[in-house]
Each structure stands twice: as C-alpha cells, then as structure tokens.
A and B are shown apart, each in its own frame.
Chain A
Amino acid sequence: MSAVPEPVAGARTSLAGMLVIPATLFVAIGLIGPIAILFRYSLNQFIPGQFMVDGLTIENYVKFFTDSFYLNVLWRTVRVAVICTVICLIMGFPLAYVLARTESRFKNLLIMLVVLPLFVGNAVRAAGWMTAFGSKGALNASLMGLGLIDQPLEIMFTETAVIIGIIAVNLPFMVLTLQSVIEGINRNVEEAAFSLGAGPAAMFARVLWPLAMPGILAGTILTFILAMNAYATPVLLGGPKFQTMGPLVYGQFAQQNNWPFGGAISFILMTATLLLTVAANLIVQRRYR
C-alpha cells in the first residue's frame, strides 16, 4: 500500500495538495515548536530567585532519576495507566462487540450512550465521583443504609478512586475504536470457525482477537496515552498525596516556577509513554503477524 494517494485529475491535485498545508502548519507551529522550546528549557539551569538561567546541562534529568520520590511518581503513573488500559480493554471488548454486531434499530442511540460521558468535562465528572466516593457520599450512604457495611469504605483519595475515574473517562475511546474495527470483520468468518469445530473460546482466540488486533492496538494506545497524561482525575480523586506525572508537571511550572525541571519531567513523561507504546506494539505485532 502506498502512502501517497493516486493523483486524480492533473491540475486539481496540486490545489488539493495545498489543503493539507493548514493542518501541517498548525502541527508544526502549535506542537513541534513549543515541544522543541520545552526541550531547550529542560537543559537550562534553575536557580531559585533567578527563575531560569541559560545553560546546557542534564542536571534536571539526573535530579529526576536519582530521587526516589520522582521515580515513585513515574512508576505509580505507569502502573495506574497500565491497569486502566487493561481494564478498559477487558470491559470494552464485549461492549464494543455487542455494539458492532447488534441489529437493533436503537444502535445509534446505544453508541450515543457510550459517548455521553464525554459530553461532561473531566473536572466536572471527577467532581461528580467525589460526591459519590466520599465517606458520606452516595456509595457509602447506600451500602451502610442497606446494612452491608458498618464503616464507610475508604475510596476517596486512593489509587482505586483514581483508577475508577480514569477508566470512566477512557472507556468510551476504547469502545468506539474497537467497535469500528469489529464492524469490519465479516460475521461469516466467525460462523466459519464455529462450523469447523471451534467453540466460542477457540473462535475468539484464533479468529476474533487476531482480526480485531488493529483496533485493540489503536484503542490501547489511545487509552494508555490518555491515562499516562491524566490531570484532573488524579488531582481531584487522588488528592494532594497521590502524585502522578501530569499534576507534577503542572506543579513545577505553575507553583514552583521551575520551568527547566518541569520541562524535563514533561520530556520524561512523553518518552516513557512513547517507549511503552512502541514496546507493546512490537511485542503484539511479533505475536500476531
């Protein structure tokens, strides 16, 4: 397959080609530019009181990797992101399958219901979870009212709360990505596997899963990146003691005014996300080629 589309009609192609310029410029100026500047900043020195001193040093990176506090934050972020992504995949696949295969006339409505949570901003949604998870929140009040527990469950300001919150945000992305790919898999292929003696588990493992692999990859990459970079959810549901990379970057820029270190953390976050994504891709592609 060629990456360049076949030219259509002579003179018009050059005009059509121009249409990609706005997006290209936007990405170049709006994304790559600032990232390059940020990288440059991360090599500067930070001297309290002087804000930022031009330099060419890796001390910000050394600081991160030699301080167990920061390494813990990175590890926690990766752990939360991996758990969220795996749970999203496990919960999202059946839902996506049903959405892809349903012949109900309410199909579009069902898809809208999956997307509906995205109509509410992350911060607003996290605030909603706060009211649900609190020690006097809806969940604890219901469970205690029913007599199922004596003491309120400690959910708020725990890793569990953050994981639940992030899954709620990311699940629709996983479901929609998987659904579009599963829809492209011919139903007869599943039936062919059944007729050849494959039970549901064998059919899933040998046919559905490998054929859905492009969607599984796209969905996990998307949700993993979102989970790695989550900001509002860990801040509001995790509380001040539950530090992840997103809030850490923000803190260095906005509260500590330490732009060089903030820049370095941003780069470490970006690189970690990229490396883990690429590694997962390579492993999966080797298995399912």
Chain B
Amino acid sequence: MARLSIDHLRKVYGEFHAVDDFSIAIAEGEFLVLLGPSGCGKTTTLRMVAGFIQPTAGRITIGERDVTALPPWKRNCGLVFQSYALFPHMTVAENVAFGLEMRKIAPADRAPRVAEALRLVQLTGFDERYPRQLSGGQQQRVALARALAMEPDVLLLDEPLSNLDAKLRQEVRVEIRDLQRKLGLTTIMVTHDQEEALTMADRLVVMEKGKVRQIGSQRELYEKPADRFVAGFIGRSAFLDGAVAEAGRFRTGGGLDIRCTATASGPATLALRPERLAIGAEAEACANRFPARVEHVSYLGALLDIDVRLTEQDRILLQMPNRPGAAEPKPGDMITIGWAEDAGLVYPREA
C-alpha cells in the first residue's frame, strides 16, 4: 500500500483560490480526514487526488509514482461517493467486478475477488440484486466493496455517510474504520461532520477558505487549536474580544482583567472551552474569578448549557454536568465562575 504525498497543491479559478498551498504526507495505512465548512476546498482537494480536477500548481505522489498529470483511470484510487454512484443497470456483482474487468482480469479470476469484497462488507448473497433493490446502507457497502475489489493504492471517501440516517451512520462509521485498519488502506475522507471526523481519523486537516488551518490529532486540535477558527470549529468555544495589555494580562472590551499565558501584547481574542469553567465553590480556587449573571439555561440531559454575562460586552457559555442534588442556576441568578490561568487560549487579532 502506497504512501501519498501532496506538495504545495493549489487550485485557482480566476480570482478564487479554491485550494491554497496544500501540503501533507500521508503515512501508509493512515486514515486522514479533511474537515471544514462547505466551500473550504476539502472536496476540491480530494477530487484533485482522484484526478477529476487538474491542479493549478503542485504535485501529487502515490508511492513512487507522480500522478499529478495522470487521468483518473490510471491512478488506482478507490473512490466512494456521497451519492454511492452505483451503476444502476448492473447487478451488485457486476458493479463490484467492474474495476477488475477494466483491468482485464479474466472472468474466472474475478469471481473470487468479488466474493471476497462482498464478504468484507457483509453482503454475501446479494450478488444478483440490482442497486435499486437495496437499502441506502447496503448501497453504500456495495460502493465500498466496488472500490476495495480493485485493490486501490489509496481509498478516497467523499462524505460517504451523509446520506445515511443517524443510527446507520454510526454503524457504517465503525465498519469502514475496522475494514480500513484490517486492510491497512491509506485513506482520505472528506466530511463536514465533526463527530464523524473525530471518531474515524488518525489525523485531521482543518480547512477554511482554501487554506489549511491546522493538521493534527483530535487531541491536538481540541487542546491546542492553532487559531480562532479552529477553536470555534472543533468543539465549542466562547470568545472574549480584547487585548493583551502586558505579558500574562488580557483585558476584555468590557474591562475585565484576565490572567493568561500569552506574552505578545496587542489586540487579541481569548477562547474558553465551556467545560473548562468552574462554578460556585470550585471557582474560588481559580486564578480568574468573576461574578456573572445567568442569562439562559438549556437543559441537555447529561449536561446543562448556561449562558452567563460577565459585563455588558462579555458573555460566555459554560457547561456543567447535570448531577442530582446540585443547585441548578436560574436565569437572573448571580454566580461566581472561574478558570485556570492556562484554560484561556489567546489568539492575536488583526486590528
């Protein structure tokens, strides 16, 4: 199985930079997820790897092979589409055999490989069915089997779970992940679904407006978001606008003085994870303590989401576990909230 590397990949449509200087090296058997809001360039990147879009600049290498100028049919990338894109006029077996047929593999040698691919996706016995006779989840698995049967160098998944209902999505997610590990397939998946990305990936790339914002593991993205966008996109963050007055001091627009770990002074934004905030007695021990007025409480079952106002301009969201016996704040209550010095992440802001 080949290693995939992308060097300074760029796609420009007139004035619009769909993908701007994308570089990454993907290890053998790695599951990489491209994550970002719609229009961030993740699908364009995937389609360039598949060969459907010619890059404006840059290089794509699969193993030792430079595939940048190759047409899609010479790349050996297994592709699974959001719409499945099964051939409606062929049976399941014919669909799965298609890639083998195109590689001029003799019919007698195709059969066992088709059977093996269908066994992997647990669709043994569905050979003679037509796609229209299958459920969405089954069609998805046929699409996967079709891509696997040709033993691709790289597996590309384009929002493969978006058309499935929530419960099925979770099952297929695990199935795809298990299969990918078992076969050691180098895989790139595109998704806008954060939960999907976090549960499946070995490594994630967060993209926005054609640019790579951060590449890292789930933990790195959540604990150390590279910028304000990532802090808001991966998990939730409350943002306080203000400025770093001196090393270790952040002053909000509303006049709060917050201890932080930032050193460079200038206009900045402080990001706080809602579950890293302490409330009431626990808050007393924190480096940062402020009185706050409860504005709104959302009951989420296991958790409570509480919107609090610190000053006229400074509002934050905090999250507390829903424990029996714990006093549940009510809108209008005055409470104390606090957080550690290193809980707030400071991002410089262009003035």
Contact = CB atoms under 8 A, between A and B. Distances in A.
> Is chain B a partner of chain A in the same complex?
yes
A193 B98 contact: yes
B81 A197 contact: no
B52 interface: yes
Interface string B234-259: 00000000000000000000000000
A50 interface: no
A196 B146 contact: yes
A203 B51 CA distance: 15
Contacts of A206: 87, 98
Interface in B44-61: 50-52
Nearest to A211: B89
A188 interface: yes
A61 B146 CA distance: 58
A288 B86 CA distance: 17
Interface residues of B, number: 28
Majority DSSP secondary structure for residues of A touching B: helix
B79 interface: yes
A213 to B, nearest CB: 8
Nearest to B79: A195
Contacts of B71: 194, 199
A197 B76 CA distance: 7
Contact of A198 (B76, B98, B143): B98
Given A195-B77, A195-B78, A196-B150, A202 B88 contact: no
B73 interface: yes
B88 A211 contact: yes
A210 interface: yes
A206 B73 CA distance: 14
Interface string B66-81: 0000011111111101
A264 B73 CA distance: 57
B83 A194 contact: no
Contact of B50 (A195, A199, A203, A211): A195
B85 A194 contact: no
A196 B83 contact: no
A71 interface: no
B103 A197 contact: yes
B225 interface: no
Interface string A157-197: 00000000000000000000000000000101101111111
Contact of B81 (A188, A210, A211, A288): A188
Contacts of B51: 194-195
Contacts, number: 68
B13 to A, nearest CB: 12
Contact of A197 (B85, B86, B87, B102): B102
A199 B52 CA distance: 13
B47 to A, nearest CB: 9
B89 A191 contact: no
B160 interface: no
A199 B87 contact: no
Query: Could you say which of A188, A191, A192, A193 has the most chain B C-beta atoms within 10 Å of its C-beta?
Result: A192
A207 interface: yes
Query: Could you say which of B50, B81, B147 has the most chain A C-beta atoms within 10 Å of its C-beta?
Result: B81
Query: Could you say which of B50, B79, B150 has the most chain A C-beta atoms within 10 Å of its C-beta?
Result: B79
Contacts of B103: 197
Interface in A38-92: none
Contacts of A196: 73, 98-99, 102, 146-147, 150
Interface in B137-157: 143, 146-147, 150, 156
Contacts of B74: 197
B72 A186 contact: no
A191 B87 contact: no
Nearest to B156: A195
A198 B74 CA distance: 9
B247 to A, nearest CB: 54
A198 B85 contact: no
A188 B83 contact: yes
Nearest to A189: B85
B306 to A, nearest CB: 45
A281 B48 CA distance: 41
A186 to B, nearest CB: 6
Contacts of A194: 51-52, 71-73
Contacts of A211: 87-89
Contacts of B86: 189, 192
Nearest to A190: B85
Nearest to A194: B72
A188 B47 CA distance: 11
A192 B81 CA distance: 8
A195 B73 contact: yes
Given A188-B81, A191-B79, A191-B81, A198 B87 contact: no
A203 B89 CA distance: 13
Interface in B103-118: 103
Given A197-B73, A197-B76, A210-B89, A191 B52 contact: yes
B58 to A, nearest CB: 20
A194 B89 CA distance: 17
Given A195-B78, A197-B99, 12 more contacts: A189-B86, A189-B88, A192-B87, A194-B52, A195-B73, A195-B156, A196-B147, A196-B150, A197-B74, A197-B76, A210-B89, A211-B89
Interface of A: 186, 188-189, 191-199, 202-203, 206-207, 210-211, 288
List 6 A-B pairs, minimum CB-CB distance, nearest first. Answer: A188-B85, A197-B102, A196-B99, A195-B79, A194-B72, A192-B85
